Amino acid sequence: KIDRNKTKMSLPFQDEWTIVWGGDTKELNYHVENNAQKNAFDILIINKKGNSYKTDGKANEDFYAFGKQLFAPCDGEVVLVIDGVKDNKIGEMNSVDVGGNTVIIKTINNEFAVFYHFKNNSILVKNGQQVKQGQILGQCGNSGHSSEPHLHFHLQNGIDMSTATGIKCYFDKL
């Protein structure tokens, strides 16, 4: 039996994004070795040439995903917000604060939707707030252990990353 989400999920972004890490093997998804993140996705926007940036890719603003709005995939309660972590310079990663600017939403089914790497000071929700599916959470950024602007998204069965187990996430509509 696959441990998959019970809550109906919509994509947490608009337009077309690309999953660059996601899947069940180490070759497809380096997250598989972390029990909580084993079903995680790293998602960004690429152009027809396969590039994730428009100019020389030296600044966060060059990247298509940077500053794009991110949305609640379902109704739920915001159980964790971390904001105020500076966005990385391209090519540098913050190893101290892995998630960077973070939002975690608890669903009615006790699933925890984890968003990492929001843009600094862009998060629009607060701890304890009820959110509705499609509500804007903030903007995609490059904070935390992130090599370039992208969304890290995964589901887990508890709030604590050190004890939680990842849940396979299926979206209602693609």
pLDDT digits (tens, 9 = 90+) for 66-82: 999 999 999 999 999 99
pLDDT tens-digit readout, 13-67: 999 999 999 999 999 999 999 999 999 999 999 999 999 999 999 999 999 999 9
Burial class (CB in 10 A: 0-12, 13-18, 19+), 49: exposed
Strands (E), the chain: 18-21, 41-44, 69-71, 76-82, 101-106, 112-118, 130-131, 136-139, 151-156, 166-167
The predicted model scores a pTM of 0.95
Looking at per-residue confidence, does 133 or 95 come out higher? 133
The amino acid at 75: D
The backbone torsions φ and ψ at residue 143, rounded to the nearest 5 degrees and listed phi first, read -95, 155
Percent of the chain with pLDDT over 70: 99
pLDDT at position 2, please?
58
Q: Give the number of other CB atoms < 10 A from CB of residue 86.
A: 15
pLDDT at position 74, please?
97
Res. 12: pLDDT tops 70: yes
Res. 174: pLDDT tops 80: no
The model's confidence at residue 152, banded by pLDDT at 50, 70 and 90, is: very high
d(CA 21, CA 27): 9
Q: Per-residue pLDDT averaged across 73-96, rounded?
A: 96
CA distances from 15 to 45, 69, 166, 172 (A): 9, 11, 26, 16
Nearest to 119 by CA among 73, 47, 65: 65
Q: Per-residue pLDDT averaged across 99-112, rounded?
A: 97
The amino acid at 21: W
The backbone torsions φ and ψ at residue 137, rounded to the nearest 5 degrees and listed phi first, read -95, -40
Res. 3: pLDDT tops 90: no
